[in-house]
Amino acid sequence: MGPLPYVSSYYAASAHAASAWPQLQGSIECDACVVGGGIAGCSAALHLAETGLRVVLLEEHRIGWGASGRSGAQALFGVAAGQAKLERLIGAQDARVVWDVSVAGLALMRERIARHGIRCDWADGHLLTAVKPRHEQELHAELHELQDKYAYPSVRYLSRAELRAQLATDRYLGALYDTNSGHLHPLNYTLGLAAAARGAGVQIFEGTRALRYAPSGTAQVRVTTADGEIRARHLVLCGNVYLGATAPQLASKIMAVATYIVATEPLGEERARQLIANNAAVADMNWVLDYFRRSADHRLLFGGRVNYSGLRSFDAPAATRARMLRVFPQLNDVRIDYAWGGEVDITLNRAPHFGRLAPNVYFLQGFSGHGIALTGIAGQLVAEAVAGTAGRFDVFARIPHGTFPGGAALRRPALVLAMLYYRIKDML
């Protein structure tokens, strides 16, 4: 079977023309093999090549085919687990390292976009909004922590009146506004990283699944594909939920959940500006959250539905549109031009999951919805580890990760029951 096409999304429809890379035929020997052509894999390949290594990147379908190319595209500081949980898991000192890496990831993203001329519609600004009074209290506590504990200067609190001047909705009570975070076109960004990696000497193969890997001698690993093999000194696995049988020992640490986004018809610049005056990306504080932003061609992109069950029986586009109208009822007359969904990975504790399966086999997964910026710098961290400077990578590798309960048969029903609790909590 050949590579699957991109999901029919706004991003695929508006992507820049990109190279179609060949399928692997035959055998190649290299220094490092990277599996997965999303942001993490493209970033890892680029950084490894910049250290002078011979690098091969394998992607089962197309570059950016998975979550990297169809996400909500909000680039944020921190990790989904939150700093307080990280401190409980690995201590305050290591939690601070994770924080610093996440902020450096935003700077790295901007630097790459500028250095490689990646046309991906980057826009500054993110609003984290309060739906209910307890959210307001949590936002004030977070602001205090960010400013006093982490000396993070780019965030401030917006009152309801200040927020109403930025968002044309009465739904929110206040918000944290961060000028350092932002949003972009995720598929064009991923394609830009792949082009930069190719420019640095990376050999890229699409339509090529890594079926299995095994040691090859004392210092090599052999990666088998349908029509060839790679023999490499190092292997970096960046396939997340799509690795499957390639690395089955990782599957129990992450769960695939389906997310959905709609894109309106073009609204025109004036109407789009009326919705979000400062062009920030927006997300609320509910567990099952709404998130939205303007596109460069003046559409509203809105995500607001998550499916934990694995079933596809409900009308996701209609449900997502209904959530959009709850925020912006004035869009009732607007046509939906695109509606799409796909799987992203979450971990049990919502912290990223990095580590080694062998001394020369590394993996990056479990970004839990915080991947746009963090995946990019994760690629830098794994390249550092391959080069022998593993300090930052090993901090992430020390984060403990539980196995989703219930085994293969019951882990998803158990998750659905757990998520029901949080959905009820959102209503209170």
Rounded to whole angstroms, how far apart are CA atoms 300 and 275?
A: 9
Residue 226, Cβ neighbours under 10 Å: how many? 13
The whole-number pLDDT of residue 404 equals 83
Contact (Cβ atoms closer than 8 angstroms) between residue 353 and residue 254: yes
Amino acid letter, 424: I
What values do phi and psi take at 5, rounded to 5? -70, 165
Block mean pLDDT (10 aa), the chain, length 428: 87 94 97 98 98 98 96 95 95 97 98 98 98 96 95 97 98 98 98 98 98 87 97 97 93 89 98 98 92 98 70 73 96 97 90 97 95 97 97 98 70 48 44
Superfamily of domain 10-70+188-253+349-414, CATH level 4: FAD/NAD(P)-binding domain (3.50.50.60)
Q: Take residue 37 and report the two structure tokens written for it.
A: 């052509």
Contact (Cβ atoms closer than 8 angstroms) between residue 288 and residue 308: no
Contact (Cβ atoms closer than 8 angstroms) between residue 26 and residue 56: no
User: What value, to the nearest 5°, has the Cα angle with vertex 333 and ends 329 and 335?
Assistant: 110
Q: Which residues contact 95 (CB under 8 A, 6 or more apart)?
A: 83, 86, 87, 89
Fold match between domain 10-70+188-253+349-414 and domain 122-181+255-347: no
The whole-number pLDDT of residue 1 equals 59
Contact (Cβ atoms closer than 8 angstroms) between residue 183 and residue 123: yes
The whole-number pLDDT of residue 218 equals 73
What values do phi and psi take at 28, rounded to 5? -135, 140
For residues 167, 169, 172 and 178, what is the CA-based torsion angle, rounded to 10 degrees?
A: -10
What values do phi and psi take at 359, rounded to 5? -55, -30
CATH topology of domain 122-181+255-347: D-Amino Acid Oxidase; Chain A, domain 2 (3.30.9)
Rounded to whole angstroms, how far apart are CA atoms 154 and 235?
A: 38
Q: At what angle do helices 39-50 and 186-199 cross, to 10 degrees?
A: 20
Taking the domains of the chain in order of start, what are their residue ranges? 10-70+188-253+349-414, 122-181+255-347
Residue 51, Cβ neighbours under 10 Å: how many? 14
pTM to 2 decimal places: 0.93
Rounded to whole angstroms, how far apart are CA atoms 151 and 147?
A: 5
The whole-number pLDDT of residue 288 equals 84
Sign of the alpha-carbon torsion through 263, 321, 367, 126 = positive
What values do phi and psi take at 394, rounded to 5? -70, -25
Q: Which helix (H) or strand (E) holds 137?
A: helix 133-144
Give residue 79's Cα distance to chain centre: 11
**3-class secondary structure, 354:** strand
Contact (Cβ atoms closer than 8 angstroms) between residue 343 and residue 67: yes
Q: With CA atoms as reference, report the closest residue to 263 among 293, 283, 290.
A: 293
What values do phi and psi take at 391, rounded to 5? -55, -55
**3-class secondary structure, 383:** helix
The whole-number pLDDT of residue 19 equals 84
DSSP state letters, 243-271: -GGGSHHHHTTEEEEEEEEEEEPP--HHH
